């Protein structure tokens, strides 16, 4: 059985919070990399994400470019999950490329479903060029709500997290599929070349998707529309989505690790 047939039953993914897959051919990897450089003739400094570009149409164009390659492969492996918006992430040796420890935002009701990122390097990645580093099993530590204006629940123990991180070192074209709850970070690129990857959201087809926004002491939960993250300034809150509910939230700050 293919590992993507039913992610909810994949024992390794459930236990570790991630799996590594063979995904792209060398030609597909090169095609995606070429598309990035064709649309980015000037080198980006530090950590760059096409999904954060000021031009919303450019965000959509890059997402579509990536999905033209990834979607047929992904959907041939899994009928029960859908591929969401996609982005290039480039980390140059120039400038600050550190991405602080964090969990990705909730996009499903995590009491019932799990959602994921499909992270695919277009070059070989390792600790030297600032690959993603993860904490195995951290997706099971605590139930949290995550989104704009909701502080990370692990801010007060961030220094303790660094002793637990494991770098993901894989070759170009392989894919890291990881739970959005998994704690991860990435360091500076200290190599001579660009560290280029694509990242795409993954969610169960049967699950509603949501956008959670902090408005202390409340969290607002909205039904998420396709491409909302690419068409809007996601840190400003919602102006177009339908409200599901507004509820009080404790905004926890953990004082120790499990």
Give 72's DSSP letter.
Answer: H
For the chain, give every domain's residue range: 7-248
pLDDT per position as a tens digit, 203-220: 999 999 999 999 999 999
Please report which confidence band the pLDDT of residue 7 belongs to, taking 50, 70 and 90 as the band edges: confident
Indicate if the pLDDT at residue 142 is higher than 90.
yes
Q: What is the mean pLDDT of the chain?
A: 95
> What confidence score (pLDDT) does residue 65 get?
98
The pair of structure tokens assigned to 258 is 């499990």
Q: With 50 as the cut, is the pLDDT of residue 1 above it?
A: no
Averaged pLDDT, 114-120: 97
- Is a pLDDT exceeding 50 seen at residue 191? yes
Q: What is the percent of the chain with per-residue pLDDT over 70, rounded to a whole number?
A: 97
Q: What is the pLDDT of residues 154-181, one digit of tens each?
A: 999 999 999 999 999 999 999 999 999 9
Q: Which CATH architecture has domain 7-248?
A: Sandwich (2.60)
Query: What would the mean pLDDT of 47-74 be, rounded to a whole number?
Result: 97
- Cβ 44 vs Cβ 92: under 8 Å: yes
Q: Where are the beta strands (DSSP E) in 16-140?
A: 18-22, 47-49, 81-91, 99-102, 116-121, 132-134
Which contiguous run of DSSP H or E holds residue 169? none
Across 79-229, where does the E strand assignment appear?
Answer: 81-91, 99-102, 116-121, 132-134, 166-167, 174-179, 184-186, 195-204, 210-215, 218-223
């Amino acid at each position: 059985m293919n590992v993507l047939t039913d992610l909810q039953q994949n024992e390794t993914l459930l236990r570790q919070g991630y799996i590594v897959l063979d995904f792209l051919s060398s030609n597909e990897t090169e095609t995606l990399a070429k598309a990035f450089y064709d649309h980015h003739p000037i080198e980006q400094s530090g950590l760059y994400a096409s999904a954060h570009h000021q031009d919303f149409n450019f965000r959509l164009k890059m997402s579509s470019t990536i999905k033209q390659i990834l979607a047929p492969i992904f959907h041939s492996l899994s009928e029960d999950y859908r591929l969401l918006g996609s982005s290039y992430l480039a980390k140059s040796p120039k400038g600050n490329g550190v991405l602080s420890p964090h969990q990705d935002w909730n996009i499903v009701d995590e009491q019932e479903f799990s959602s994921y990122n499909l992270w695919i390097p277009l070059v070989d990645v390792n600790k030297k060029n600032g690959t993603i580093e993860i904490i195995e099993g951290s997706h099971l530590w605590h139930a949290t709500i995550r989104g704009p204006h909701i502080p990370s629940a692990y801010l007060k123990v961030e220094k303790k997290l660094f002793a637990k991180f494991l770098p993901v070192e894989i070759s170009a074209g392989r894919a890291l599929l990881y739970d959005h709850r998994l704690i991860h970070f990435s360091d500076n690129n200290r190599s001579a070349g660009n560290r280029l990857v694509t990242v795409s959201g993954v969610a169960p087809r049967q699950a509603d998707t949501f956008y959670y926004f902090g408005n202390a002491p409340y969290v607002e939960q909205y039904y998420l529309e396709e491409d909302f993250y690419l068409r809007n300034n996601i840190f400003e809150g919602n102006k177009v989505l339908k409200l599901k509910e507004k509820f009080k939230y404790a905004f926890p700050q953990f004082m120790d690790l499990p």
